């Protein structure tokens, strides 16, 4: 598909770019998207939750009362989960929630996400830009040029521009990342995509992964 290239002030240029149909015009696979997003969210989990079981909770191992003849249930010790202040039964322990997902599935999910944005006409291609110093107002002005100041946007750049990243970091609904780092979750989580002209080459490199 062919798109016009815009300046950061919102005006059109005479240039156009062609987005590779192998990335932006595939048959979307919703199950692959679900698996990839699940994988991304699982990898973000810290998994540091922990509870005290009978082996780790503090307390005596003395038998509280005799086994029979009390008229009540048996009580082996004060660490029992049935006693207040005792251990936790079957509680969570530190673990890694990540799971393996094939590269081809992850790539199909990414391409499906880009295809959905292309079909919804939610992609804007702009000329490459950089800031001499971090300036949130300058980044907001770019969003205003395309009427996206109130939309959730993802801006893909071709290199790690620290000043552009810092200029957007204070905006709750805006995110800047390198095109080579784009993932299914961030693409779908954004309402609109802003793609810098030179970063399209980085997206095309995904075909060779």
Q: CA-CA distance, 148 to 140, in Å (whole number)?
A: 9
Give the span between the Cα atoms of 29 and 115, in whole angstroms.
Answer: 10
Q: What pLDDT is recorded for position 90?
A: 95
Helix %, strand %, coil % of the chain (to 5): 35, 15, 50
Angle in degrees, CA 132, 137, 138, rounded to 5: 45
Predicted TM-score of the model (pTM): 0.84
Dist. CA 116–CA 30, nearest whole Å: 10
Q: How many CB atoms neighbour CB 16 within 10 A?
A: 11
Domain boundaries, the chain: 2-45+97-208, 47-96
Q: What pLDDT is stored for residue 160 in this prediction?
A: 72
pLDDT score at 205: 86
How much is the average pLDDT of 157-174? 89
Asked if the model's pLDDT at residue 209 lies above 90, the reply is no
Architecture of domain 2-45+97-208: 3-Layer(aba) Sandwich (3.40)
The C-alpha atoms of residue 69 and residue 162 are separated, in whole angstroms, by: 75
Asked whether the predicted pLDDT for residue 108 surpasses 70, the reply is yes
Which of 128, 127, 117, 129 has the alpha carbon at shortest distance from 154?
117
Residue-wise pLDDT for 82-96, tens only, equals 999 999 999 999 999
């Amino acid at each position: 598909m062919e798109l016009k290239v815009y300046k950061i002030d919102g005006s059109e240029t005479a240039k156009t770019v062609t987005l590779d149909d192998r990335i932006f015009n595939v048959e979307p696979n919703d199950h692959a998207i679900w698996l990839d997003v699940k994988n991304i969210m699982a990898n973000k989990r810290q998994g540091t939750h922990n509870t005290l079981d009978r082996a780790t909770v503090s307390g005596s191992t003395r038998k509280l009362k005799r086994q029979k003849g009390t008229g009540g249930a048996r009580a082996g010790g004060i660490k029992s989960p049935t006693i207040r202040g005792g251990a936790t039964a079957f509680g969570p322990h530190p673990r890694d929630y990540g799971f393996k997902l094939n590269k081809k599935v992850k790539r199909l999910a990414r391409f499906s996400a880009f295809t959905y944005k292309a079909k919804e006409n939610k992609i804007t291609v702009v000329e490459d830009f950089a800031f001499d110093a971090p300036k949130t107002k300058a980044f907001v002005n770019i969003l205003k040029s395309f009427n996206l100041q109130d939309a959730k946007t993802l801006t893909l750049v071709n290199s790690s521009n620290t000043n552009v990243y810092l200029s957007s970091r204070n905006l709750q609904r805006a995110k800047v990342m390198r095109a080579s780092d784009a993932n299914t979750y961030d693409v779908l989580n954004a309402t609109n995509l802003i793609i810098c002209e030179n970063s399209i080459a980085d997206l095309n490199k995904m075909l060779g992964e």
